[in-house]
Amino acid sequence: MQSVYQPLDTTKTYLITGAAGFIGFYLARKLLIEGCRVIGIDNVNDYYDVRLKYARLEQLTPFDQFTFVKGDIADKVMLAAVFEEYKPNIVINLAAQAGVRYSIDNPDVYIQSNIIGFFNILEACRYHPVDHLIYASSSSVYGANTKVPFAESDFVDHPVSLYAATKKSNELMAYTYSHLYKIPATGLRFFTVYGPMGRPDMAYFSFTHKYFSGEPIRIFNNGDFAQDLYRDFTYIDDIVQGIERLLSNPLITDEGALHRVYNIGNNRPEKLMTFIETLENCLSQSLGKTVIFTKVFEPMKAGDVPATFADTRLLEKTVDFRPKTPIREGLQHFTDWYCDYYQVK
């Protein structure tokens, strides 16, 4: 079995779906800085403010090695044409409909993007062979698992949201295609990624928005601090470094390509209330004045889980990587960016 870590190959062509998204943008920018050729696909939908998506793309377009295709991975014909024209060596599928709560009221878009879209990616890799397919899974697949930290070997057949079910389905589909067609495939179970230019629907971003709008923040733990929510927050630069280390390292055996799944998280879960207090402190530092959020406590929402906590030893063993950015440092970068981007005082 291959176990020697291989560095990034800058001679390859990298296809990133969801290139206008949070993780996709940062990964594309990092690869372009390294001198790689990057093909980006994104449908630039309005799940959240498209101006932020275009602001990300504006930072990528100056690179000569970047090509952007506006399209939806659910469009099989378009996707096949992109593979035929650009012949990517490595594919990173980050295009997906995200959000646990949004899946309760809008299930159709999850099937269209996360199931049909990912099927089209697998088919494209089948008929246009690639060196490696990396795709986004989620820590949501662990459901209401009470055994922590979450390990890749844990039982994950009880998803508590449709979003989680689609991500578990992606892992099963990737396994099947890897087995049948020898596609080297790696799934990444992301744990609450945060940072500048992040997703506005994420709690840290939403809380900051609400502060400047004069609205209270809603905390879904009934105010029960003995049963506080825990989240494994992972800074965006750490996530990108982890992905980059995996790109040239598909799992290969004498029998052919294999599928594998990794947790990619911080391995240091934070109490939600501690996280909120840290966010308040960072925003205070950015603004030069004391910030305290107005808080409203409500019951847990359907599909939410009490804790996310990543066991990251497998990823560390494979590519010698472990996230290192402290929450205070990462949130300070976010609040500094937020105040500059939105021009708030």
Helix (H, G, I), strand (E, B) or coil at 227: helix
Report the candidate in 182, 310, 191, 190 with the shortest Cα–Cα distance to residue 251.
182
pLDDT reading at 226 higher than 90: no
Report the candidate in 200, 206, 265 with the shortest Cα–Cα distance to residue 235.
265
Which superfamily does 13-194+234-267+309-324 belong to?
A: NAD(P)-binding Rossmann-like Domain (3.40.50.720)
What is residue 160's predicted lDDT score, i.e. its pLDDT? 86
What is residue 40's predicted lDDT score, i.e. its pLDDT? 98
Beta bridge partners of 262: 188
pLDDT reading at 254 higher than 80: no
Q: Which helix (H) or strand (E) holds 288?
A: none
Rg for the chain, CA atoms, rounded: 20
Residue pair 132/88 in contact (Cβ under 8 Å)? The answer is no
Provide CB contacts within 8 A for 69, sequence distance 6+.
39, 40, 41, 78, 82
pLDDT reading at 222 higher than 70: no
Q: Where are the alpha helices (DSSP H) in the chain?
A: 22-33, 50-60, 76-86, 102-105, 107-110, 118-127, 162-181, 203-213, 236-247, 272-287, 313-319, 327-341
pLDDT reading at 148 higher than 90: no
Q: Is the pTM of this model over 0.75?
A: yes
pLDDT reading at 84 higher than 50: yes
Catalytic residue, chosen from 110, 163, 194, 338, is: 163
What is residue 43's predicted lDDT score, i.e. its pLDDT? 96
Angle, to 10 degrees, between the axis of helix 162-181 and the axis of helix 118-127? 10
Residue pair 221/272 in contact (Cβ under 8 Å)? The answer is yes
pLDDT bucket at 273, cuts 50 / 70 / 90: confident
Angle, to 10 degrees, between the axis of helix 22-33 and the axis of helix 236-247? 60
CA distances from 130 to 155, 157, 227 (A): 30, 29, 46
Backbone torsions φ then ψ of 82, nearest 5 degrees: -65, -45
Beta bridge partners of 116: none
Please report, for the chain, the start and end positions of each structural domain, with discontinuous segments joined by +. Answer: 13-194+234-267+309-324
- Is 5 considered catalytic here? no
From CA 229, how far away is CA 144, in angstroms rounded? 12
Mean pLDDT of 256-265: 88
